Amino acid sequence: MSTTMTEQFSKGLEDVVAGTTSICTINPDTETLLYRGYSATDLSQNATYEEVAHLLIEGRLPKKRELKRITKLLVQERKIPKPLIKVLKLIPLKSSPMDVLRTSVSFMGALEEARQYSIEDTKQIVYSIMAKLPVALMSWYHLSKGGDLPKVNKNLTYAGRFLQMVTGKDPSPLEEKIMNASLILYAEHELNASTFAARVTVSTLSDIYSALTSGIGTLKGPLHGGANEAAMELILKFKSPQDAITGITSMIEKKEKIMGFGHRVYKKGDGRSVIMKKYAKELAEMKGNQKLFEIAEAVEKTVKEKKGIFPNADFYSAVAYYLLGIPIPLYTPIFVLSRTAGWSAHVLEQLSDNRLIRPRAIYVGQPARDFSPIERR
């Protein structure tokens, strides 16, 4: 018996299978996030972001020479085009940093020759974009604050260089490790909204710049990105753990949404949050700001007790970012810097066996009717 369109329908496409992928999955039994078969949480504690980017984009963990090549590329390709610098200076200082990233990718695409890129060409463009995006973002950000982009230490990792561009200081080994872990944990997450948007775009045989612009625009929406920013703003409202318990209890009673909790896929808890909680605690101890961590933990415990839901990757990532000295408006842009690897992997996979993504809809409008001349309406 054939399946009808009505039987296939699920609002928001929840649990609808839209294709196959070899990039990422969430184990249905353990709810473990896997990148090409490797545990994302294991990778976050043992690999660098450069290694994981290679894994996602090239399909395998790099050998020493391959890691050396991608590391060198991400340093060499950092310089942003002079026309882009002019554009960044024209972007209003009160703009969203997400708009800066979206505009930067789109404009870099406009500077390129309009042609159909091969898969190998696309890979090289991806590494160039990954190298340039942190520089474009932080050039605009420091400009908006009346400052200049700090000089960076080329010997640092991708994560370390980003932290240095934010704070102007060499990160400690622990700070660099935590930033690296966060980038890895945010790098990929199967067919989320922004990844699906990127795949839809490139399924028309559009280019990588257009696909990444679609991804950034989709991630900008508060139902997809922005939860880490909202979570941090909530935590900062409380002066003590007891204040947090009282405040969160009141929010729950009023049926207010608490950002940084719950996930459409994870029902038993988000393993990424466990890792970031551990790192946030270590960082709080190093910085002598255990109070902030204790407030966050009080929020977590209260939500668990009152609603039975767990923190997602955004909650403790926000705490870690705050302790790393990263301004809150940059939290979602970090998601972009990380997820560019995952989006690009999906773009390449889509191109390798492409079919235009064109779903159907169940029509609920008026039945067929005759046209009425304007004088009879």
Ramachandran quadrant class, 15 (left: phi over 0; alpha: psi -120 to 50; beta: rest): left
Record the tokens describing residue 377, joined without a space. 């309406």
So which residues are the catalytic ones? 224, 263, 314
- 107 vs 132: CA distance, rounded Å: 12
List, in sequence order, every residue forming a beta bridge with 38; answer none if it has no partner: 35
List, in sequence order, every residue forming a beta bridge with 261; answer none if it has no partner: 311
Three-state secondary structure call for residue 127: helix
Q: Residue 249, class by beta-carbon neighbours within 10 Å (0-12 exposed, 13-18 middle, 19+ buried)? A: middle
- 40 vs 45: CA distance, rounded Å: 9
Task: Determine contact, residues 120/58, Cβ cutoff 8 Å.
Answer: no
Spatial strand order in the sheet of 33-35:
24-26, 33-35, 38-39
**CA dihedral sign, ordered 218, 198, 275, 326:** negative
Record the tokens describing residue 376, joined without a space. 């009879």
Task: Determine contact, residues 174/286, Cβ cutoff 8 Å.
Answer: yes
Residue from 304, 264, 236 nearest 14 by CA: 264
Tokens 């920013």, residue located: 229
- Residue 360 is given by DSSP the state -
- 344 vs 272: CA distance, rounded Å: 21
Record the tokens describing residue 265, joined without a space. 């896929």
- 107 vs 303: CA distance, rounded Å: 43
- 259 vs 26: CA distance, rounded Å: 22
Measured in residues, the chain has a length of 377
